[in-house]
A and B are shown apart, each in its own frame.
Chain A
Amino acid sequence: MLESYGPVLILILLSSALAALVLGLSSIMGPRGLGRGARDTYESGIIPTTSARQRFPVRFALLAMLFLVFDIEVIFFYPWAVIFRRLGLYGLIEMLLFIGLLFVGYIYAFKKGALNWE
C-alpha cells in the first residue's frame, strides 16, 4: 500500500536536489561585489523608513479561519463522493442534510459580512 508512494518520494527528492542546485548556482555564477545601496530593499527608489514586518489587519486571520471551516467540509465530501453510488438514497439524504447545515453556516457568515471584503 505505502509502496505506491515510493516513486513520489523519489520525485520529491530529485526536485529538491534541483532546487538546491539552482540556488547553489545562483550564488556561484553571478558577479560579486555590491554597489552602494544594492542591498537595500526596494521601495520605489526611496530608502525605506519603516520595516516591512508590521502588524496586518485581522481580516486575513478571519478569512483563514473561514477557510479552515469550509475546507474541512470539502475534505469530508471526498470520501462520501467516492462511495456515493454505493450509499444510494441514504447517502443522498444524509449529504443534503450536511450541505444544508453548511449552507446555513455560509448564510450566517454572509449576513455577518465576513465574506465582504470592505
Chain B
Amino acid sequence: MTGGDIIEAVVKSLIIIVALLTAFAYMTLYERRILGRMQLRSGPNRVGPAGLLQPVADGVKLAFKQAITPRGVDKPLYLLAPAISVVTALSAFAVIPVGPTYNIFGRAIPFHLADFNVGLLFVLAMGSLGAYGIVLAGYASNNKYSLLGGLRAAAQLISYELALGLSLVGILMISGSLSLTAIVEGQARGLWYILVQPLAFVIYLISAIAETNRAPFDLVEAEQELVGGYHTEYTGLRFALFFMAEYINMVTVSALAATLFLGGWHGPFDLLSGPWWLLAKIILILTLYVVLRATLPRLRYDQLMRLGWHWLLPLALLNVVLTAIGITLLQ
C-alpha cells in the first residue's frame, strides 16, 4: 500500500465510524419517535427541536454514570465483551459498497472501504464473532440472568446463522461472486435479486432480525423474563457499547439486505446519487424493524429454535435446490 492508500483508508475508516455512530444515535431517536407514534404518545420531543438532541442528552447521561464492576466478575472478559461487540459491529461494514467510484481531489475514490473476493464471508464472519461479545458478557457477569441470556444468545445466534448463510447461496449462484461490489453490479445489469430470490429474502430478513436480537426475537435481553439478559450487570458507557453494537448491527444487516436484494446503491431513477439510495433502502428496512417491535409479542425460546431448525433451515436448502435447477434449466 502506498502512503496515499493508507491515508485514504484511514479517512474512510473514520467516516465509517462516525457515520455508524451517528446512525446509531439517530436510530435510537427514530425508533422511539416511531414507537411513540404507534403507541398514542409523542416519544422524546423535548431536548432540542423535535427532540433532535435527545441522543446527545442520552450519551452525556450515560457518560456520567458510575462504572460499577460487580464483585466476582471475570474482569478481563467482562471488559473485553463490550469491546468485542462494538469492534465487530463496526468492522462488518467495511466491505459494504455505499456508492460507485467518484473522482475526488483527482483520485478515483471507490465508495467502499475494501472490496475483496470474499466480502460476503467477511460480513458473516464478523457477525459470528460478535456473538462472542454477548456470550462472554453473559458468562463473565457472575449473574444468573446474564448467564441465561448468554446461553440463549449462543443457541439463538448459531441456529439462525445457518439459515442466514444458506439464504445467501442462491444469490451467489446468480451473481457468481462473493464480492459485494460485483453483486451490486450484477443487479444493476439485470433484476434486483429480491425479484428472483423472494424466498431467500424472507429467510434472510427473519434470520437477520434474530441475529441482531431484535423483537420478536429479542429473547437474549428479554426484559420481562431475564431483566436485561447479558447486559444486566453493565452500567454507563459500558452498557452504551452493547447498545451501540446492537444498533450498528441493525444498520449493517439492513445495508446488507439492501445490497444483496434491493440493488444496493442503484436506484430506478437517477433522482438521487448512490449513497442516498442506499440510505433510503436502509431506512426502509430499519422502519420494518421498528414496526415489528411495536406489533409483535416475543417468541418463546423453544418456539424460536423450532422456527429456525424446522422451518428456515429446510426452506433455505430448498431455495438452494430450486435456484440450482432454475439456473441449469435456463442455461
Interface set of A (CB-CB < 8 Å, partner B): 3-8, 10-12, 14-16, 18-20, 22-23, 25-27, 29-32, 34, 38-44, 48, 51-54, 56, 60, 63-64, 67, 70-71, 74-75, 77-78, 81-85, 88-89, 91-92, 95-96, 99, 102-103, 106, 110, 115-118
Contacts and interface: CB of A to CB of B under 8 A. Distances in A.
Interface stretch (B23-31, B37-45, B97-105, B317-325): B317-325
A23 B238 contact: yes
B91 A64 contact: no
Contacts of A23: 79, 82-83, 237-238, 241
Interface stretch (B110-118, B189-197, B205-213): B110-118
A86 to B, nearest CB: 8
A5 B116 contact: yes
24 contacts: A5-B116, A6-B5, A6-B114, A7-B8, A7-B13, A8-B95, A11-B9, A11-B16, A14-B10, A14-B14, A15-B90, A16-B83, A18-B86, A23-B237, A26-B63, A26-B237, A41-B70, A51-B72, A60-B154, A70-B313, A78-B121, A81-B320, A82-B177, A95-B324
Contacts of B79: 23
Nearest to B83: A19
A2 B305 CA distance: 39
Contact of B142 (A22, A52, A118): A52
B151 A70 contact: no
Contacts, number: 218
A10 B114 CA distance: 11
A12 B13 CA distance: 9
Given A11-B94, A16-B83, A42-B143, 11 more contacts: A6-B5, A8-B91, A8-B95, A11-B9, A11-B16, A26-B67, A52-B144, A82-B178, A102-B317, A106-B314, A117-B305
